[in-house]
Amino acid sequence: MNNQYIKYALYGLSTVIATELVYNYFRRWMKRCAEIRASRTESEIADVIWINEHTQDCAVKSEKNSPKFFHNGNKCKNMFCYPRNIRKIIKFIDNAKYSIDLSMYIFTSNELALAFHRAIKRGLQIRIVSDQEMCFSSGSRITELTKCGIPVRFPNATNMLMHHKFCILDGPGRSRALSKMQKKPFENSQGILFTGSLNWTHQGFNANFENMLITSNSKLVEKFEEEFERMWLSFNGQDLNS
């Protein structure tokens, strides 16, 4: 009987110890999950660029009395300033690792075109969906980018404007596809989405009331990736280079 009591006692003790171990493991796991969620929240990008009546507050007048913006690095305190806004976008483009998918009605900005040229030199895969008429408009940077091998496609429906203004940097879906195509692993990267009313033009960045949302929200990035990919495939055969 004594041996039986000892056996029961050992079983009970083992159960208590196992329960305590499981509880402590679960508690540490929950704590780690909370830390991961917190770090993701802290690192998530959520910003808006506004262009409004204050955009030219930091501009000086040239001899011809036309607005001429002075570029003073990051010292400008005007959050609506054109150079400040353009630098913010360029910084994201310059930090992109794998891909850029652009759907833009009008693209005439020289600064952003130069950022695209730097991205090409870094080996990024770039695709552009644009409006066929605006692509060939005066000052368009899209036609010059095609000379660097960037494919551009237009809608098949000629009675509809391609009026989108959004850009996806390092979209997760695109990164996975490129990794598979190139047969090499890609490091995890944060997808970035630009979207809003803003065309990439001097007029848009300087003289209109405009907005651009900048976000790394994975659900929003995914939705825009899906639509870009749908357009890209449905416009198949409409490459500008061809």
What is the DSSP track for 213-226?
Answer: EEE--HHHHHHHHH
Task: Look up residue 86 and give its two tokens.
Answer: 């353009």
Q: Check: CB of residue 215 under 8 Å from CB of residue 46.
A: yes
Task: Report yes or no: 196 and 25 within 8 Å, Cβ to Cβ.
Answer: no
Catalytic residue among 101, 131, 164, 165: 165
In the set 101, 131, 164, 170, the catalytic residue is 170
CA distance 77 to 84: 9
- Per the annotation, the verdict on 170 as an active-site residue is yes
Provide the pairing of β-strand 67-69 with 125-130: unpaired
Q: In this structure, what are the phi and psi dihedrals at residue 221, rounded to the nearest 5 degrees?
A: -60, -45
* 181-187: long-range contacts, CB 8 A cutoff, minimum separation 24: 186/97, 186/98, 187/97
Contacts of 110 (CB under 8 A, 6+ apart): 141
Asked about 131 being catalytic, the answer comes back as no
- Spot the catalytic one: 31, 71, 163, 180: 163
57 catalytic per annotation: no
Instruction: Evaluate whether 139 touches 110 at the Cβ level (below 8 Å).
Output: no
Distance, CA of 142 to chain centre: 19
Active-site residue numbers? 163, 165, 170
